[in-house]
Structure 1
Amino acid sequence: MQLFSTFETNGFLEMAISTLEKRGIPKESIFAVPLDNRAENRKIFDTLHRSDGTSLIDIGMGLATAFSVIGASIGFKLAWGPIYWGLIGAFAGFVLGFSIRLFLELVFKKKKRVLKGKHSEVILIVDCEESEAELIENILWSHFALGVAKIKRLKS
């Protein structure tokens, strides 16, 4: 039987491996694979197939609504009328809100996009007998594994 688990790169992984070795699991049966970090910077603009869940137009839409109401109200006294001034206010509010959000994403949230300080996870594979699987799973969970999966070997 094989147990697959994922860990963050920290001391708990080392403690889990040493605990497994103390419980009689040979070193040859324990295999740790570190995952590579992302090499490219994260993209700001979403595509049709990929989205990070961050909206750049939320502030823009709110300001567009507010500025269009103000523009339409003031437009009753101006030469072009309320419709044109409402549209001008909506456009100006959207551009202002989009600019604010883009500035916040580029300057203040750059650290979050680059993932500085985040290390890749490690996949730990333990090859064991079926009778030891429950013990090993409990050891992995007690050392803060992010996830654990058991796979039974096919008999040939």
Structure 2
Amino acid sequence: MQVFSTFDESTYLELAISSLEQKGIKKEDIFAVPLHNRQEERKIFDTLHRSDGISLIDIAMALATAFSVIGASVGFILAWGPIYWGLIGAFIGFILGLGIKLFMVKVVRKQRTPLRGKSAEVILIVDCDDTKAELVEGILWEHLAMGVAKVIKK
């Protein structure tokens, strides 16, 4: 049976491995795989196949609507008329909203959640007998594993 678990890179992982070795699990049956941090910056613009969940045009559309209504209202007095001034207001509102959202994503959010400062996780794989699976799982939970799963080998 194989027991998979994830840990933060910390001393609890080392304590879990040494505790497993003390309980009779061989070093050859314990396999730790560190995950690497993301090195490149996240892309701002979404594609058809990938989305990060951040919408860039939500504020832009709201401001475009508001500015187009204001532009159309004022356009009754101005020379070009309400249609042209409504379109001009919509364009100005959209550009302003897009600029605000880009500023928020690139500057404000980057300061709040630094991506490079996070430590990566470690996947720990323990190969053991079915009789020791409960013991191994208990040891891993004891040493603050983030998640544990058991897989039966055939």
What fraction of aligned residue pairs are identical, expressed as a percent? 68
2: CA distance, partners of 1:78 / 1:91 = 18
Point out where structure 1 has 5 or more consecutive residues left out of the alignment. none
Q: Secondary structure at the match of 2:148?
A: strand
1: CA distance, partners of 2:82 / 2:144 = 62
1:112 Cα offset (Å) = 6.4
Point out where structure 2 has 5 or more consecutive residues left out of the alignment. none
Please, what TM-score do these two structures have when normalized by structure 2?
A: 0.89
| Contact 1:5–1:125, Cα closer than 8 Å, also in 2 | yes
Partner of 1:103: 103
Partner of 1:12: 12
> What does the per-residue CA deviation read over 1:74-110, in whole Å, with 9 as the maximum and x for residues that have no partner?
1111112222111111110000000111122222223
Summarize the Cα distance change of 1:42–1:114 in structure 2 as closer, same or farther, 3 Å threshold.
farther
| Contact 2:35–2:122, Cα closer than 8 Å, also in 1 | yes
Partner of 1:151: 151
Summarize the Cα distance change of 1:112–1:9 in structure 2 as closer, same or farther, 3 Å threshold.
farther
1:30 Cα offset (Å) = 1.3
RMSD: 1.8
1:48 Cα offset (Å) = 1.1
1: CA distance, partners of 2:52 / 2:137 = 33
Matched length: 154
Please, what TM-score do these two structures have when normalized by structure 1?
A: 0.88
> What does the per-residue CA deviation read over 1:92-143, in whole Å, with 9 as the maximum and x for residues that have no partner?
0000000111122222223567612112211101111101111211222232
Partner of 2:42: 42
2: CA distance, partners of 1:116 / 1:61 = 32
Partner of 2:70: 70
